[in-house]
Amino acid sequence: MPEEEPERLISEDGLRLDGRKPDEMRPLKIKAGVLKRADGSAYVELGANRIVAAVYGPRELHPRHKQKPDRAVVRFRYNMAPFSVDERKRPGPDRRSIEISKLSKEALEPAIFTEYYPRTAIDIFVEVLQADAGTRCAGITAASVALADAGIEMRDLVAACAAGKVDGHIVLDPMYYEDGYGEADVPLAMMPKEGEITLLQMDGDMTPEEFKKAVKLAKKGCKIVYKEQRRALKRKYGEE
Amino acid sequence: MPEEEPERLISEDGLRLDGRKPDEMRPLKIKAGVLKRADGSAYVELGANRIVAAVYGPRELHPRHKQKPDRAVVRFRYNMAPFSVDERKRPGPDRRSIEISKLSKEALEPAIFTEYYPRTAIDIFVEVLQADAGTRCAGITAASVALADAGIEMRDLVAACAAGKVDGHIVLDPMYYEDGYGEADVPLAMMPKEGEITLLQMDGDMTPEEFKKAVKLAKKGCKIVYKEQRRALKRKYGEE
Amino acid sequence: MPEEEPERLISEDGLRLDGRKPDEMRPLKIKAGVLKRADGSAYVELGANRIVAAVYGPRELHPRHKQKPDRAVVRFRYNMAPFSVDERKRPGPDRRSIEISKLSKEALEPAIFTEYYPRTAIDIFVEVLQADAGTRCAGITAASVALADAGIEMRDLVAACAAGKVDGHIVLDPMYYEDGYGEADVPLAMMPKEGEITLLQMDGDMTPEEFKKAVKLAKKGCKIVYKEQRRALKRKYGEE
Amino acid sequence: MDQDLLARIKRHEVLEAIKAGERVDGRDFEEFRPIEVQPDVIAKANGSALVRLGNTQLVVGVKLEVGTPYPDSPDEGALAVNAELVPLADPTFEPGPPDENAIELSRVVDRGIRESEMIDMKSLCIEEGEHCWVTFVDIHVLDHDGNLFDASLLGSVTALHRTRVPKAEVVDDEVEVDETELTPLEVRDFPVSVTIALVDEHLLVDPCLDEEVVMDARITVTVTEEGRICAVQKGERGSLPEHLLDDAIDLAVKKAEEIRGVVKAQL
Amino acid sequence: MDQDLLARIKRHEVLEAIKAGERVDGRDFEEFRPIEVQPDVIAKANGSALVRLGNTQLVVGVKLEVGTPYPDSPDEGALAVNAELVPLADPTFEPGPPDENAIELSRVVDRGIRESEMIDMKSLCIEEGEHCWVTFVDIHVLDHDGNLFDASLLGSVTALHRTRVPKAEVVDDEVEVDETELTPLEVRDFPVSVTIALVDEHLLVDPCLDEEVVMDARITVTVTEEGRICAVQKGERGSLPEHLLDDAIDLAVKKAEEIRGVVKAQL
Amino acid sequence: MDQDLLARIKRHEVLEAIKAGERVDGRDFEEFRPIEVQPDVIAKANGSALVRLGNTQLVVGVKLEVGTPYPDSPDEGALAVNAELVPLADPTFEPGPPDENAIELSRVVDRGIRESEMIDMKSLCIEEGEHCWVTFVDIHVLDHDGNLFDASLLGSVTALHRTRVPKAEVVDDEVEVDETELTPLEVRDFPVSVTIALVDEHLLVDPCLDEEVVMDARITVTVTEEGRICAVQKGERGSLPEHLLDDAIDLAVKKAEEIRGVVKAQL
């Protein structure tokens, strides 16, 4: 949490603390295939977020009684490096990261043709090396590229982006201070081609109309992310 | 523990703090079949104790190497809700509840025809929603009714009740203050029809004669409990 | 750690705090076969160290997927009794004992004909009842005798002993104060017959030459230990 | 095997009912099951409630303990919500620390309480930066027949509405608590969540367990007395078509109002 | 398989012996195995003892640590008994936190020490409400051949009788400990437990492991020097016929007196 | 099965190469893989570095936290080294608390830092006996292609060399930290470890993963700037012939000097 609350998060001329317009995303960089050992991997920078994702699988699932005869089991582990946040985070999962891992898995699974890989496991690992706001969305974004890099068959990429409410304004992709002092946060993930929402959360205070507006803005953000994801894959694999 | 020790636990005319005679039990209410999901269940109120018991099984036991070829494995979990005691209890088993779970299992197993259900598990769960003194006995009492409600074949019901020593008197079914400030506690469980003792503990200070007298009184309590257990089952299943 | 640092660890006439010469070991007693339940066991006293080792196996290894088709799996657990050290040690493994367990296993395994016992486990347990300095070496020494006592086929016994640097001198078998206030510690284990080093660690400050000298001295200590190990086995099993 | 077969039969029943415009237990798509809320069931708790939502049954107990404020909110009390899915409540629940389902449940309930600002957290400060009340909300599930989210929040909010705070004074740097002098906890909202299951492109309010087993996705929307949204959570392995989201939100806001009325009438 | 067969053969042997009025190791039904108690075996402990009961062998160490008194007994020290069934002592013992057997063992020993009031807990108070000695009694089992209960209490009581308490003074709110000035721990009783196995309606005192494997139930009775009972524990999966209970109690009281004499003679 | 087969083929390849006087990746026996060190990669850390050693890749972050000095070194700060072998880095790494491999790794790195006395621990004391800086060195492995020991120490030492310490003052018994006023951590050495694999009586410097899988034993020697040895660790299931030890030590001392130069040139 920022140590001192800024007086206002949106300036008189409608700009945000980091100079962005309300519907502007932070700089986004995506790179596919950054690790050698993993079957697929990706690296994402979104603002000051630094995130690595890796995919192992489809691979054998032990113990056997956890296998599904008709599909792959998708597993997801979101983890923060101890040095990724202001105060050192003790290693190991806490309640927040367990919830994020569950929701991220549920955000990616609708996109995967799990039925093509019966009895196997598809393991997705996301390591947050540095956290600004929006790590869960950036993690899903990275994981989705890593899945494609691993050659896992998918209906579509999953793109994720948050919207927020800050000083009464609906803004795209809240950064650290906005997340800490804003009025609401709406992370969203979707398969843009099919118009299917796969992650949606909100906490804070919004009228139903504000919430709908935020969802709309987050979807716009997802489309930007989607473009970058495809560009990253093209860079590695050439034209689609 | 009561915050201030009462001056005397037995009045001059031989009555206890809650007005009971030495050989009198607290009000006891038993209800069979209170849960829908469990195979059998029961609810017990004994004084301010509020206890729910559930039975699942006989059911498949995993992992396989824990199965017994000639009998069912009985498992028992005694658990206190965090709000059941004066100071919030942290969730999860502590040493006390692990010991109670072990002894309660050993108190019930002699009554079950485990040999009728080879290779299975019979799982018994006792949740203490509010604890006065005597939860282990009330839990065994409830579990026994839940076992019957689940249709598990038994030699007899197991009835449980404690006796204690308070201000030098042997009393039946000690309540909270008596348990905290009394001289000894003797929880006992038995199969009344067969005269077999299945749980017996004591801690405190007693002569051998006092201990034998307490056992005798606890057995008397068990018979009262036994009657209520059968009445509860009759209410649910009609005349035996 | 000693409460007050002694002024000097080596006196003017070259003797150590406990009167030993630099290349002298502490009194060493080894006894084979001290436990009834274990397949093999040994007891070692080295200075104030009191150590018991037991071996179980070769025995069945569960779960099955951990079995090795071509050899036995060797497992080692080094454990300190809570009362073995100045400040009570909380039961359970800490990072230090996990590292010692791993290195001790790797110190003994080269000596065992594991290929004679495919699909089995050989379990080695070392309990430190009282710790002076040098428990890891004394534990390996004891475990090696326990393995022989269990009838496990071995290339050679493994003998272990430390050297150290104290007040600039290279000394054999550092005791408590020397370990705490000395400049370096070099525990070593070897199969003396074959001249193979199976454990080697060092921490502190030494020139390469000092280190080599310490290794040489530790090897000399191992030979003394080796003699005692064989003597202990002879006492139990008669002439070889 | 039998279990899988049973699941497939249930799935078939649920889907057949939906095709016929009905639900497997005879309810309308937008209909909650009967709600029964019984406050003050645990005398040892500072506040408590038993909730029955159809066959789903749970107890919530609130306990207050003296603790230390968080450094970033030195003048406020603390809140900790915990849900125990004890194995007594469902054959698939296992003993042990809370799994991902229990954690998600408790965190969604936590956000409903926290973000609605129903508790005046400043009223729980005893001495700034030194001592405060920590409010433990413990959800103890007894019988699981679906929709634990809504039942848990109903129980928690009711228990908090009935919570009484002991008098606490700081004497010589130590907190002295008088359990006999009690004042009601200051609460100023009554957030209610509405969970909607998506099955075969249909929105089913308050899913029972048979419906949860077959649902594609679930969305939980938590609504304040003023009709504002304070928490949303989509869950489960399926996705939510964009065109249904607005409908789900509107439906949730409408039902929240209704449910709040039903519960308040029982207090 | 082999294991089961072995168990069945052992069971047969034990039962055959009993039918012939004997025990599998040749003892009388009411006879303890040889007891050997060796105090002061661990110099690093404040008190210690090694116990051999037949082939059963264990070490008990007592350590004193400065701690904080419990709020409900501000003028008393604290006691913590812990038993480690380390895997060195038996092929079935597994590494890890104490299981239900280790916990039952330590709690029965704890009750024997605590309820006999053998330790003057007030003598372990350093400063009321602030500082006290915490007495850790650690039971470390080395070789398990049955009846860990009685051997553990013998070792614990002996170690406590030999425990010396360092001088502790409060200087500037902090406790200063002088390990060189030691006074004996104030002990005023010598509780002894007697464990009796029920096999085929026979009462066998001090069961060895082969007997424990086949016993129906076990009863442990802890007796003070005055012949009073301070703890009782029935265990195991069988039941105890009512008519045998009084016999078992009388037998335990008698044997406790005898055993106490045997041990005291060695100190 | 396939895994075993694959391992056997790899083993064969590695051994064939060695017989031919080569290594499986074409290096000389005494040759390190390319080293790339990138400092200051994590702005949230007090010091950090990314290390690439061939395909092995890891990040080390240093965080300083205010804590309490150890009683036996009241005028010094504290050091805690932790290595996380997260499952992202290798198909065999599993989530959960550090296993024996992660613990050995962190302890060898710890000894390299501690015994070289590269950090002036006294400079990390804030108030004697009361407050000090605790230096957390967290090694986060991203891609495991062998020789984590040397890469981890390189990253840790680099991160420590780049660590800046915030100003800390004691005001009214509490520590006030000013994150904006930073001074470099006082470091006075640059310890480097050299890990050598023993394969078939050959010494291979800086083993890659394929070599680690087949190696008999491993020896890690940590060397200070003055060419003194501050830590040694032999590991793995094989033994080290006496006559090779001195060669290994000399080789390590030589290579350490060289590697230190390579890294320093990048800072």
User: Which of C36, C79, C85 lies closest to E86 in CB terms?
Assistant: C79
- Chain E positions touching B198 (Cβ under 8 A) are 234, 239-240
Amino acid at F190: F
Q: Inspect the structure and tell me whether chains C and E have 3 or more CB pairs less than 8 Å apart.
A: yes
Q: C22 — phi, psi (to 5°)? A: -55, -35
pLDDT, position B2: 46
- Chain A positions touching D233 (Cβ under 8 A) are 200-202
**Confidence band for A12, pLDDT divided at 50, 70 and 90:** confident
Using a CB–CB cutoff of 8 Å, tell me whether B6 touches chain D: no
Element (H, E) at B82: none
Using a CB–CB cutoff of 8 Å, tell me whether B135 touches chain D: no
**F36: containing domain:** 24-266
C-alpha E105/C-alpha E149 separation (Å) is 6
Taking an 8 Å cut-off on Cβ atoms, the answer to whether C82 and E63 are in contact is: yes
User: Which of A95, A109, A211 lies closest to D229 in CB terms?
Assistant: A211
Note whether F157 and F118 are within 8 A (CB): yes
C-alpha F145/C-alpha A177 separation (Å) is 39
In the predicted structure, residue E10 carries a pLDDT above the cut 90: no
In the predicted structure, residue E96 carries a pLDDT above the cut 80: yes
Residue of A nearest to F45 (CA): A83
pLDDT, position B39: 98
- Give the closest residue to E65 by CA, choosing from B213, C87, F153, D231: C87
pLDDT tens-digit series, residues B67-99 = 999 999 999 999 999 999 999 999 999 999 999
C-alpha F44/C-alpha F167 separation (Å) is 16
- Minimal C-alpha gap between D198 and chain B (Å): 24
pLDDT, position B171: 97
Using a CB–CB cutoff of 8 Å, tell me whether F140 touches chain A: yes
In the predicted structure, residue E129 carries a pLDDT above the cut 80: yes
Residue F5 domain-assigned?
no
In the predicted structure, residue E222 carries a pLDDT above the cut 70: yes
pLDDT tens-digit series, residues A102-142 = 999 999 999 999 999 999 999 999 999 999 999 999 999 99
Mean pLDDT computed over every residue of chain A: 95
- CA distance between the termini of chain C: 42
Mean pLDDT computed over every residue of chain D: 95
In this prediction, residues F190-218 reach a mean pLDDT of: 96
pLDDT tens-digit series, residues E21-33 = 999 999 999 999 9
Written as six digits, the tokens of F227 are: 């060419």
pLDDT tens-digit series, residues A168-184 = 999 999 998 899 889 99
pLDDT tens-digit series, residues F96-113 = 999 999 999 999 999 999
pLDDT, position D2: 57
**Confidence band for D247, pLDDT divided at 50, 70 and 90:** very high
* Higher local confidence (pLDDT), C239 or E222: E222
Using a CB–CB cutoff of 8 Å, tell me whether E74 touches chain B: no
Residue D12 domain-assigned?
no
Peptide bond into E34 cis (omega under 30): no
| Percent residues over pLDDT 90 in chain F | 92
- Minimal C-alpha gap between E179 and chain B (Å): 32
Using a CB–CB cutoff of 8 Å, tell me whether D145 touches chain B: yes
Using a CB–CB cutoff of 8 Å, tell me whether C97 touches chain F: no
Residue of D nearest to A219 (CA): D242
**Confidence band for D1, pLDDT divided at 50, 70 and 90:** very low
Q: Which chains touch B (3 or more CB pairs under 8 A)?
A: D, E
| Percent residues over pLDDT 70 in chain A | 98
Using a CB–CB cutoff of 8 Å, tell me whether B85 touches chain D: yes
- Chain A positions touching D235 (Cβ under 8 A) are 102-103, 106
Using a CB–CB cutoff of 8 Å, tell me whether B110 touches chain E: yes
In this prediction, residues F68-93 reach a mean pLDDT of: 96
Written as six digits, the tokens of D265 are: 């009438």
The verdict on pTM exceeding 0.90 is: yes
Note whether E56 and E147 are within 8 A (CB): yes
| Percent residues over pLDDT 70 in chain E | 99
Cα-Cα-Cα-Cα dihedral of E218, E219, E222, E223, to 10°?
-130
**CATH number assigned to the domain comprising residue D78:** 3.30.230.70
Domain locations in chain C as residue ranges: 28-236
As beta bridge partners, residue B73 has B121
pLDDT, position D172: 87
C-alpha E166/C-alpha E160 separation (Å) is 14
Residue of C nearest to E82 (CA): C91
Q: Inspect the structure and tell me whether chains D and F have 3 or more CB pairs less than 8 Å apart.
A: no
pLDDT, position A239: 60
C-alpha C235/C-alpha E37 separation (Å) is 26
Mean pLDDT computed over every residue of chain B: 95
Taking an 8 Å cut-off on Cβ atoms, the answer to whether E87 and C127 are in contact is: no
| Percent residues over pLDDT 90 in chain D | 92
Mean pLDDT computed over every residue of chain F: 95
Q: Categorise residue A136: left if φ over 0, alpha if ψ from -120 to 50, beta otherwise.
A: alpha
Amino acid at B100: I
pLDDT, position D6: 77
Strand pairing report for B49-60 and B40-46: antiparallel
pLDDT tens-digit series, residues D170-229 = 998 889 999 999 999 999 999 999 999 999 899 999 999 999 999 999 999 999 999 999
The DSSP code for A89 is: P
Domain total for chain F?
Answer: 1
Strands (DSSP E) along D122-247, which ranges? 125-127, 131-143, 164-171, 174-184, 192-199, 202-205, 217-223, 229-235, 240-241
Written as six digits, the tokens of B29 are: 């209410």
Note whether C142 and C42 are within 8 A (CB): yes
**Confidence band for B8, pLDDT divided at 50, 70 and 90:** confident
pLDDT, position B1: 39
Taking an 8 Å cut-off on Cβ atoms, the answer to whether C190 and F249 are in contact is: no
In the predicted structure, residue D37 carries a pLDDT above the cut 70: yes
- CA distance between the termini of chain D: 46
Amino acid at E2: D
- Chain A positions touching D98 (Cβ under 8 A) are 95
pLDDT tens-digit series, residues B109-164 = 999 999 999 999 999 999 999 999 999 999 999 999 999 999 999 999 999 999 99
Taking an 8 Å cut-off on Cβ atoms, the answer to whether E138 and C83 are in contact is: yes
pLDDT, position F44: 96
Using a CB–CB cutoff of 8 Å, tell me whether C129 touches chain E: yes
Taking one residue from B and the other from D, the number of pairs with CB-CB distance under 8 angstroms is 88
Note whether F93 and F87 are within 8 A (CB): yes
- CA distance between the termini of chain F: 46
In this prediction, residues E234-262 reach a mean pLDDT of: 96
pLDDT, position A2: 46
How far is residue F192 from each of residues F117, F150, F196, F232, measured CA to CA in Å? 13, 7, 13, 12
pLDDT, position F8: 82
A28-236 belongs to CATH 3.30.230.70: yes
Taking an 8 Å cut-off on Cβ atoms, the answer to whether C81 and E97 are in contact is: no
Using a CB–CB cutoff of 8 Å, tell me whether E48 touches chain C: yes
In the predicted structure, residue A1 carries a pLDDT above the cut 50: no
pLDDT, position A14: 87
In this prediction, residues B204-230 reach a mean pLDDT of: 98
Taking an 8 Å cut-off on Cβ atoms, the answer to whether D249 and A1 are in contact is: no
* Low-confidence spans in chain C with pLDDT less than 70: 1-4, 239-240
pLDDT, position F163: 98
Residue F191 domain-assigned?
yes
DSSP characters over F190-236: --EEEEEEEETTEEEES--HHHHHH-SEEEEEEE-TTS-EEEEEEES
In this prediction, residues B171-187 reach a mean pLDDT of: 94
C-alpha D114/C-alpha F251 separation (Å) is 62
How far is residue E207 from each of residues E9, E28, E216, measured CA to CA in Å? 18, 11, 12
In this prediction, residues E229-243 reach a mean pLDDT of: 95
pLDDT tens-digit series, residues D50-102 = 999 999 999 999 999 999 999 989 999 999 999 999 999 999 999 999 999 99
Note whether C83 and E162 are within 8 A (CB): no
